[in-house]
Chains A and B, each alone.
Chain A
Amino acid sequence: MTAAVSLTGGTVALGGRPVLRGIDLAVEPGEFVALMGANGSGKSTLVRTLVGLRPLVAGEVRLFGTPLDDFGQWSRVGFVPQRATAAAGVPASVWEVVAAGRLTRRRLLRPLSRADRAAIEDALEVVGLADRRRDAVTNLSGGQQQRVLIARALAGEPELFFLDEPTAGVDLPNQHVLADTLARLKERGATIVLVAHELGPLERLVDRAVVMRDGRVVYDGPPLRDHEVHQPWLGEPHTHHHHHAPRPADHVPGVASPVDRSVDHRGGER
């Protein structure tokens, strides 16, 4: 059986500095894998590499057995990015954002088919936001916004899900709704790769835990409890409450060469 997603000898650099080194990971169809680790351990970078948002310096990503560069069946993949804090400039309704997830299956210049509408309805139903469909996304709470992003991925009816920190900044009741949603996906046979700092209510769903530290995989096996991830034998003291403060902005106006790439100060979280 070919792995749903695999990475062999993966090395990723951000701004010339190697962030992930020598990662080997294969996720079988139907598995529920949690990528864990402290801030800056590279777990988000890893998931973004798997969907092709970060170029590899060395190694190869395969999705359903096909090398990433040749892969074209994006309707089989659902990606739930980290919730953006800055909202876009124009209001967008819940329905519209979820409908965008259907683009993986829509042809250019065609109106929504009945199947498209049904899939969008189903996705809204699964995350429990069907009654908020007309509301602007910005009027929802953080946990509800996270559920909108999950519904967007669901609308494309993928079989492989990547979720980047779906529980970050989400209150406990919403985390339980999220866990129920993911449990339903798991029952349907979906493969799920999830980045999480702490699993919380998701713990019961996890089949396999992969713990990252400083850009390397330090543990790959049966699920761990949250506190075990941060045990000394995994080389990681209790760091998970120390969020990196954003760099203080100085008062020098940002006049520099206009084509400089901005350097990511957040240690590869994005």
Chain B
Amino acid sequence: MSPIELFSLPFMQRALIAALLTGLAAPAIGTFLVQRRLALMGDGIGHVAVTGIALGLLTGASPVWTAVLVAVLGALLIELIRERGQTNGDVALALLFYGGLAGGIFLSGLGGQSAASLNTYLFGSLTTMSVSDVIATMVLATAVIALCLGLAPQLFAVAQDQEFARVAGLRVRAYNVLVAVLAAVSVTVAMRTVGLLLVSALMVVPVATSQQLTRSFRATIAAAMALGVLASVGGLVVATFASYKATVAPGPTIVLLALACYAVAWPIGIWTRHRARLREPFPTGEPDAHEACAEHPHDHGPGCGHLAVPHDDHVDYVHDGHRHAAHGSHYDEH
């Protein structure tokens, strides 16, 4: 079967739609989580959602919706604990992580479910999505994206500085709860794509990648969403082509592709930050004594090969531990 034929199959198109929307929604809410230093919250919710899936499999209800319900409850619990006890939030998260995972495996064992049905949620299974799964994904992902972008100024202010936001009259607690709920919803959106155990990767890794290269929040969230789409759709395509030769699951491929983007961006980020630090203007103020540089055969100028750093109204050229500023026909030591 040729690749074109493969991508025209309905199950493949459903997978593409799900991958696209997941790639947009997960980094959108992930940016706010990273900004609040809650990068692992997605992981916590993902573990709690395992219980929701098992509950759905046990009761015969739709696992997607029971997962949404339980994940939202878990997210609210995490948010409550985070708000009340600031120092021990990580312990509370750990308790929820393990409680959720153990509860899910316990419940699915009770129901006599085979490991395979839980596995599709734990590790993702893009290509087995039903039409109703895709519709649920579309509705939930669109809601997450719309709320994240529409309320971005408010969510940004609350995540940036809670106390300022409170004095600005924003309902900080309501926005915190909203972020928790949106995170829970996007976890359940992404669970079919990359799986509950890898959900957090799609929320965090594109954000970590884009913030290597950006200086503003808006650029970060836009680049993170673009990278999320690149990773999720690209990962699906790569996995599809690779599956001619070997068994390649889309979920891990997507995450590995996102990590590869990070591996490329990281050194570039280090280099640009290093460069920016070197070129930062020197503090204002002339040296007390006028100290002229002795012999200086080299002429400094734009593009002379030496680092040029602004200093007050002129430029200092930096080389061999000296800062040389042109003064008439000679150079001063600054």
Q: Which residues of A contact B (CB under 8 A)?
A: 48, 51-53, 72, 74-75, 77, 79, 81, 84, 88-93, 95-97, 99-101, 103-104, 106, 108-109, 134-136, 139, 152, 156, 162, 173, 254-262
Q: Which of A88, A89, A100 contacts B39 (CB 8 A)?
A: A89
Query: Residues of B contacting A255 with CB < 8 Å?
Result: 88, 91
Determine the distance from Cα of A130 to Cα of B176 in the docked complex, in whole angstroms. Answer: 32
- Tell me whether B319 is interfacial, beta carbon within 8 Å: no
B85 within 8 A of A: yes
Give CA–CA (A5, B163) in the complex, Å. Answer: 19
Q: How large is the interface on B (under 10, 10 to 19, 20 to 34, 35 or more residues)?
A: 35 or more
B174 to chain A, nearest CB (A): 12
Given contact pairs A89-B35, A92-B156, A256 touches B163 in the complex (Cβ within 8 A): no
B207 within 8 A of partner (CB): yes
The segment from B7-15, B66-74, B212-220, B239-247 found at the interface with A is B212-220
Q: How far is the CA of A152 from the CA of B157 in the complex (A)?
A: 11
Apart from A88-B160, A89-B35: 20 A-B pairs, beta carbons within 8 A: A52-B166, A53-B166, A75-B169, A81-B161, A81-B163, A89-B211, A90-B217, A95-B216, A97-B160, A100-B160, A103-B165, A103-B170, A104-B168, A134-B216, A135-B215, A257-B85, A258-B95, A259-B92, A260-B85, A262-B88
For the complex, what is the distance from the CA of A260 to the CA of B91, rounded to whole Å? 11
**Cα distance, A39 to B8, chains bound together (Å):** 70
Complex Cα–Cα for A91 and B166 (A): 21
Q: Which single residue of chain B is at the shortest CB-CB distance from A84?
A: B161
User: Is B264 an interface residue, CB under 8 A from the partner?
Assistant: no
CB proximity of A48 to chain B, nearest CB, Å: 8
Residue in contact with B168 in the complex, picked from A156, A254, A257, CB distance below 8 Å:
A156
Q: Report whether A93 and B215 are in contact in the complex, using a CB–CB cutoff of 8 Å.
A: yes
Cross-chain contact A79 with B164 (CB below 8 angstroms): yes
Contact surface of B with A, Cβ cutoff 8 Å: 31, 34-37, 39, 81, 84-92, 95, 150-151, 153-154, 156-157, 159-161, 163-170, 207, 211, 214-218, 220, 276, 280, 284
Instruction: Determine the residue in chain B with the shortest Cβ distance to A96.
Output: B217
A residues less than 8 Å from B84 (CB atoms): 259, 261
Contact among A72, A84, A91, A262 with B87 in the assembled complex (CB-CB below 8 Å): A262
Residue of B whose beta carbon sits closest to that of A73? B169
Instruction: State how many angstroms separate the Cβ of B204 from the closest Cβ of chain A.
Output: 10
Q: A103-B170, A259-B85 are in contact. Are A96 and B156 (CB under 8 A)?
A: yes
A-B contact pairs, 8 of them (CB 8 A): A79-B168, A89-B37, A96-B156, A156-B168, A254-B88, A254-B90, A258-B95, A260-B88
Taken together as a complex, chains A and B put the C-alpha atoms of A95 and B156 apart, in Å, by 13
Query: Which of B84, B164, B214 lies at the interface centre, i.e. has the most chain A CB atoms within 10 A of its CB?
Result: B164
A96, B218: Cβ atoms under 8 Å?
yes
Contact (Cβ within 8 A) A90 B167: no
Q: Which residue of A lies closest to B277 (CB)?
A: A139
- With both chains docked as a complex, state the minimum distance between the C-beta of A196 and any C-beta of chain B, in angstroms: 19
Q: Which of A88, A89, A106, A259 has the most CB of B within 10 A?
A: A89
Q: Are A51 and B215 closer than 8 Å at their CB atoms?
A: no
Contact B153–A100 (Cβ < 8 Å): yes
When C-beta atoms are compared, the residue in chain B nearest to A97 turns out to be B160
Shortest C-beta distance, B40 to chain A (Å), equals 12
Q: How far is the CA of A222 from the CA of B214 in the complex (A)?
A: 49
CB distance from A47 to the nearest CB of B (A): 11
